[in-house]
């Protein structure tokens, strides 16, 4: 968390900075665990100061600000990072700012409660080499059914674990993997190579449906309240969750069994044993 819907919501939420000019980047004073920022601020500023922002992209779970000469300022939120254009939830966890001119937004902020996120500035060549040369799989909202199936069907991994592999498909995290598999009727511990093409196509269909609907709701703000959109407001998709963090509650699909929690690769997985039978 944040996953694809939350990061896409951030990307859309900072759209007002397009065509703005960057005055300077700044690591803000913070007594908490420092986040990784690269290159050092002197080099960072030499690359982007005075440059116009051409567009804002998303790469998997990263927000990417692209300048007119092809430099990328990349925000990777990891567990608790937020990209904001308004006052952050707390000042003490504010980590980084881009000062702007020529637009109504004067600052782009990066806030991170746990300090696990990072900010980097890459040249176009570095971006291609470090992030696009096979490091990340196709975006979960762009991959076709056939390619999706081809990337997983030979794997012996459990399907829930495989869906979290960003090198296979980019953007899905722990929360949405549970929701997708529930709606697809697939047991999270089923082995990828034991699933049929029809099951993979159904997972793909549900993946697109869940992610697009979550974007409409501007992501999921969980009980800790950490995730906020670019305007420091909560998302709404948490109210639509069917299994995630609902262990012990009645399954809303079959209305007969309880939601179960198991642990896979040290991550919580939620599912309904009646709707998602292991064959």
Which residues are known to be catalytic? 2-3, 61, 267
Q: Which two tokens stand for residue 277?
A: 């039978």
Vertex 164 angle, CA 125 and 134, to 5°: 25
**What's the rounded Cα separation, in Å, for the pair 123 and 52?**
15
CA torsion, points 110, 116, 121, 123, in degrees to nearest 10? -140
**What's the rounded Cα separation, in Å, for the pair 262 and 248?**
12
| Region for residue 148 given its phi and psi (left: phi exceeds 0; alpha: psi -120 to 50; beta: otherwise) | alpha
Please enumerate in sequence order all residues whose Cβ is within 8 A of that of 91, keeping only pairs 6 or more positions apart, or say none. none
Place of tokens 């919580």: 268
């Amino acid at each position: 968390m944040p996953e694809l819907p939350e990061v896409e919501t951030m990307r859309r939420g900072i759209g007002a900075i397009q065509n703005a000019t960057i005055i300077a980047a700044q690591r803000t004073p913070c007594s908490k665990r420092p986040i990784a920022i690269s290159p050092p601020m002197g080099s960072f500023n030499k690359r982007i100061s005075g440059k116009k922002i051409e567009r804002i992209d998303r790469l998997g779970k990263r927000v990417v600000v692209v300048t007119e000469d092809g430099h990328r300022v990349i925000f990777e939120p990891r567990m608790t990072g937020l990209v904001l254009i308004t006052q952050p939830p707390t000042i003490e966890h504010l980590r980084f700012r881009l000062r702007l001119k020529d637009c109504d937004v004067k600052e782009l902020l990066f806030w991170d409660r746990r300090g696990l996120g990072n900010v980097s500035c890459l040249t176009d060549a570095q971006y291609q080499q470090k992030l696009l040369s096979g490091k990340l799989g196709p975006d979960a909202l762009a991959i076709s059914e056939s390619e999706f199936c081809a990337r997983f069907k030979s794997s012996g991994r459990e399907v829930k674990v495989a869906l979290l592999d960003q090198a296979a498909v980019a953007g899905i995290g722990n929360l949405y993997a549970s929701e997708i598999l529930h709606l697809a009727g697939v047991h999270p511990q089923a082995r990828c190579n034991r699933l049929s093409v029809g099951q993979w196509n159904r997972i793909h269909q549900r993946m697109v449906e869940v992610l697009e609907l979550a974007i409409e709701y501007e992501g999921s703000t969980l009980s800790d309240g950490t995730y906020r959109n670019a305007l420091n407001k909560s998302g709404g998709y948490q109210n639509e969750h069917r299994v995630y963090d609902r262990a012990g509650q009645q399954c809303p699909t079959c209305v007969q069994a309880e939601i179960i929690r198991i642990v896979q690769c040290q991550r919580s997985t939620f599912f309904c044993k009646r709707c998602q039978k292991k064959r």
